[in-house]
């Protein structure tokens, strides 16, 4: 059942399944909580209360928010944890990985740990060498540029084709659902706005995080020429001993969709340890 949280006159959609310590799921740009359709029930079955959130402007949440930065999204996630009763671990993918970092740094009483899936948590420099050397990086970058500049849904769908090198069995219906949602008034504008935000606000908060952080990257993620190196840089910018990195071989940007069993296998011991400690 979809529930709604009012935040300054806008609505944030989410659903809750399972019972136990709280885990909050937050998806990436152009997506919705439906992207966690494999992960949410698996975590609930492992004894967690799973709140699966449509981040602002996405899914069943309202459009027309004042901003779509990682700091904005972080404030929403903290509000969800406070509303449901924390502490919680946030699992955030892509833009929401950066938002989870900010939430942990600014609300340490509520956020017990963070798992970041293919996160944009650091300011990105233009990687001309990577574009020349790495075909998948070049292909993803080309389509994302079309999305940012022209707002083309077709380019977003082409990007998803690269970002999910191995599709789940339901991908035909799922990609149609994503396209239908993005055709709703204002949704592509939100996607563009999120694409244009900088991860610098998240990077600035890495040193202020006090809880454990697990970074999970896909080895063939088209958003970086070297996804492992990006993950290592995030861990290096965290206080010593707080961060750990795992890389799933053959996975793209949507690890929770392509390799949900492997994500759960990595997440479960982290959740057990972190939420028990909380």
Going by C-alpha positions, the residue among 25, 68, 27, 67 that lies closest to residue 160 is: 27
Domain of residue 251 covers 3-277
pTM, two decimal places: 0.94
The number of distinct structural domains making up the chain is: 1
Q: What is the pLDDT of residue 144?
A: 80
What CATH number is attached to the domain comprising 197? 3.40.50.1820
CA–CA distance, 200 with 197 (Å, rounded to integer): 9
- pLDDT tens for the chain, 278 residues: list them: 899 999 999 999 999 999 999 999 999 999 999 999 999 999 999 999 999 999 999 999 999 999 999 999 999 999 999 999 989 999 999 999 999 999 999 999 999 999 999 999 998 877 778 777 888 888 878 888 788 778 889 899 999 999 999 999 999 999 999 999 999 999 999 999 999 999 999 999 999 999 999 999 999 999 988 999 999 999 999 999 999 999 999 999 999 999 999 999 999 999 999 997 55
Q: What is the pLDDT of residue 128?
A: 75
CA–CA distance, 163 with 221 (Å, rounded to integer): 6
């Amino acid at each position: 059942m979809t529930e709604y949280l009012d935040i300054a006159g806008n609505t944030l959609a989410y659903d809750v399944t399972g019972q136990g310590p709280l885990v909050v799921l937050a998806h990436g740009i152009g997506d919705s909580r439906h992207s966690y359709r494999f992960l949410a029930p698996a975590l609930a079955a492992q004894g967690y209360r799973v709140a699966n959130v449509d981040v602002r402007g996405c899914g069943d949440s309202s459009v027309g928010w004042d901003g779509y930065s990682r700091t904005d999204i972080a404030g929403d996630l903290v509000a969800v944890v406070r509303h449901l009763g924390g502490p919680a671990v946030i699992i955030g993918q892509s833009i929401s990985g950066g938002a989870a970092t900010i939430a942990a740094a600014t609300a340490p009483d509520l956020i017990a740990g963070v798992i970041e899936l293919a996160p944009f948590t650091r300011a990105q420099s233009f990687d001309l060498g990577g574009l020349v050397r790495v075909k998948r990086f070049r292909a993803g970058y080309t389509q994302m540029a079309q999305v940012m500049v022209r707002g083309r849904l077709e380019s977003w769908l082409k990007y998803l084709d690269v970002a999910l090198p191995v599709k789940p069995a339901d991908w035909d219906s799922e990609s149609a659902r994503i396209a239908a949602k993005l055709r709703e008034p204002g949704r592509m504008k939100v996607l563009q706005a999120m694409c244009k935000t900088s991860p610098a606000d998240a990077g600035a908060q890495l040193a202020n995080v006090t809880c454990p952080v697990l970074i999970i990257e896909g080895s063939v993620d088209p958003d970086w020429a070297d996804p492992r190196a990006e993950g290592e840089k995030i861990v290096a910018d965290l206080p010593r001993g707080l961060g750990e990195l795992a890389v799933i071989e053959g996975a793209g940007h949507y690890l929770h969709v392509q390799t949900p069993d492997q994500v759960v296998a990595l997440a479960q011991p982290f959740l057990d340890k972190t939420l028990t400690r909380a």
